[in-house]
Amino acid sequence: MARKKKGNKIDGWINFNKPYDMTSTDAVRFLKRTLKPQKIGHAGTLDPLAKGILPIALGEATKTIPFVQDSEKTYGFTATWGQQRSTDDLEGDVIASSETRPSRADIEALLPAYIGTVTQTPPKFSAIKINGERAYDLARDGEEFEVPSREVEIYDLHITEHNEGATSFEVTCGKGTYVRAIARDIGASLGCYGYVSELNRKKVGCFGLDSAFSLDFFEKMDDSAALEDVILPVHYALDDIPAVIINDQEASKLKQGQALSMIAKPDVQRLLAAGIDMRCTEPQDAVAMYQDKALAILSVSKATLKPYRVFNM
């Protein structure tokens, strides 16, 4: 007989608006104490000095975390000019300074160089691994090391406000982009130095500030009815991959880990209607939907659907 798991059976996502000066781990611990789910995790660390969207996965939704981590993100941030800091943000020690302050025109002329595929060196105080060690641990220990540069995707970067000492921006970027590095590099290019003094993550994939819930909301929540309004379905995080509606017989096979062969004309039409590219030679991801719930994440090769994540809901 299988041992019953401890905690409440809660499957889905919480769009959490993390406050300033709270770690992502502390946010997870708080929600774990409050909701007591069987399983919980977050999709993408947010620094303690940053606020904003921290998607929290509960139960079976933890199987979809990679889809959220890989998604496009939007940040609002303020770069303060005239200093370089060891952490590239407000927390670090001042390691260089300049009396130069950039004009708005100077910054705007430089921005096209920071849009597109950009080579970026992550901050030394980051979670990047160097020979198996976290870079921030090495930096705190005073170790000498180099962080390798890498290519990241920045889709949009523009100024939202500017004054002599600081400039506010909004950036939309891909996985692995460090906003602190953007401010640092712009400051270096302009000869004035710069660091991030304020950071707000406005969007992670389909999770946005307009529908996020604050720490205060959960501190005051005292009944399960309120929780029903907060929990988003597991498939919410899979909105950018095709959804294939399946029947009872197909659901039974997928639950047992069996592949489906969709070669009949009505089945092919169903795949095309779902957005499956039947001409694609590479495997595609899709989600199998059964009775309005996500049943499995599928690897689709032409007309063959193979489950590689099955949800137990």
Active-site annotation, residues: 47
Retrieve residue 101's tokens: 């302050």
Per DSSP, what are the bridge partners of residue 76?
Answer: 170, 200
Collect all residues with Cβ–Cβ distance below 8 Å to 224 and sequence separation of at least 6. none
- In this structure, the dihedral spanned by the alpha carbons of residues 68, 69, 71 and 74, taken in order and rounded to 10 degrees, is 110
Collapse the DSSP code of 72 into the 3-class scheme (helix H, G, I; strand E, B; otherwise coil) and give the result: coil
- Calculate Rg over the CA atoms of the chain: 23
Which residue shows structure tokens 């789910």?
A: 37
CA–CA gap between residue 210 and residue 216 (Å, rounded): 16
CA–CA gap between residue 240 and residue 67 (Å, rounded): 9
Collect all residues with Cβ–Cβ distance below 8 Å to 101 and sequence separation of at least 6. 81, 82, 164, 165, 192
CA–CA gap between residue 73 and residue 172 (Å, rounded): 6
